[in-house]
Amino acid sequence: MTKRKVLFGPFIGEFGWELLFWQGWVLKQCRENYQDFHKIACSFPGRKPFYPDVDEFIDIPEWYINLKPSCHAYYTDGWKNGLPGTLEKINDFSPRGIIRAFRLKQWPPTKKKELPFDGLNFHSEAEKLLSELTKEFNENDLVITPWKKNLKKDFGLDFGIFLENKEIPSYKKKYIYEIPFTHQTLEKIRPTSNGQNLFKKIHTNNQKIIAIFPRSRFFRRQDKNWSLDKYLKLIKILQNKFPNEKIAIFGEPGGAYFSDCVPENCIDLINIDPKNRMDIQIAALQNSLFALGSMSGAILVALASGTPSLTWGFLNEQLRYHRENFLGTKFIYHSDIDPSVETISEYVDHLIRMGK
């Protein structure tokens, strides 16, 4: 008898959201509610390690990736009529703006204005993708999609994107309902055996890795980027401080510095086969002394792999990062979005001492 199918996805949203508010729920469902189904997950190429219990993993096809979506939570910027879009910071010297600035230790005080996303309406493209994935499904098969409205009566909680047909999404109203940790099975993220073997071919000795995530995005949240010069200076300091370890550069083309060429004597884990990139990087993290980089979802993956990590960013994000470190991995968050290289080097020493 042919098994019924259940599709989880396609996941088209942010990398960090997939880690924190999706993959653990899929794992729980696979083990508790859909054991007798043929379980399928669909996400961006290389994300198979997020779904160890599915029977089949499907890559999002190139035609969708080539549209260059700006991922946002469970969905994308430009979902309908250019919204949600980007946020422009403008000075806000009203009493409320000044009080808020002092509370967050940010000056000058700012408020945000939404600017429409200049691109496709991705909702229709996502629907096209979903139709393509389910064209051979029958009425007994199931589809659970995070950018749909998923209701408590079906799943025990509301999650997904809650938009009525005529509504236009924006930052002014809450449309996004994430899956809390209490409804997930959150375990250490591990590489597949294939990822381990491929990593061993790239890194052929037993040197420990120092993992650097040099975030560099120029559409969404440029303010999270640290400068290229500072990363270069830090890498030289770390190479001198840890001569017996090997520095590896993590990330993906278009989202990290060094997409063209990594610094001398560093391992390039950016410019590798995208279908295996994340798998190889998780294998590298399993062999890492520590990981660091400016605030990003990638740092949360390092923590989820059990790798001691250091990041830096805005004061108001500090508690969230500690809360989202669901394994309780050793972690330092420095609340300064643009610290000096010397400060980060000192924090590395603290992180090393924490591990002893």
Higher local confidence (pLDDT), 354 or 128: 128
Do 34 and 92 reside in the same domain of the chain? Answer: no
81 belongs to a structural domain: no
Q: What is the pLDDT of residues 47-95, one digit of tens each?
A: 999 999 999 999 999 999 999 898 999 999 999 988 998 777 777 767 7
Q: Based on the fold, state whether residues 172 and 33 are members of the same structural domain.
A: yes
**What's the pTM?**
0.86
Alpha helices, DSSP H only, in 47-134? 62-65, 95-104, 122-133
Final residue of a structural domain among 129, 160, 183: 183
Q: Which domain holds residue 107?
A: 86-115
pLDDT at 354: 83
Same domain, 109 and 56: no
Residues 233 and 145 in one domain: no
pLDDT band at 294 (very low <50, low <70, confident <90, very high): confident
CATH number, position 155: 3.40.50
Phi, psi angle pair for 320, to nearest 5°: -60, -45
Quote the pLDDT of residue 118. Answer: 75
**Same domain for 264 and 302?**
yes
pLDDT at residue number 303: 96
Q: Kindly state whether residues 175 and 200 are assigned to the same domain.
A: no
Is residue 188 assigned to a domain? no
Residue 331, in any domain of the structure: yes
Residue 316 in 3-state DSSP?
Answer: helix
Query: Is the pLDDT higher at 107 or at 218?
Result: 107
Q: For the segment 228-267, what is each residue's pLDDT rounded down to a tens digit?
A: 889 999 999 999 999 999 999 998 887 676 788 888 999 9
CA distance 249 to 242: 15
Cis peptide before 180 (omega within 30 of 0): no
Q: Tell which wins on pLDDT, 345 or 216.
A: 345
Q: Tell me how many domains the chain contains.
A: 3
- Is residue 173 domain-shared with residue 210, that is, in the same domain? no
Please report, for the domain that includes residue 340, its CATH number.
3.40.50.2000
- Average pLDDT of the chain, as a whole number: 90
Tell me: do 304 and 344 sit in the same domain.
Answer: yes
Look at residues 183, 209, 229 and tell me which one is the last residue of a structural domain: 183
Question: Sign of the C-alpha dihedral, residues 116, 118, 123, 124?
Answer: positive
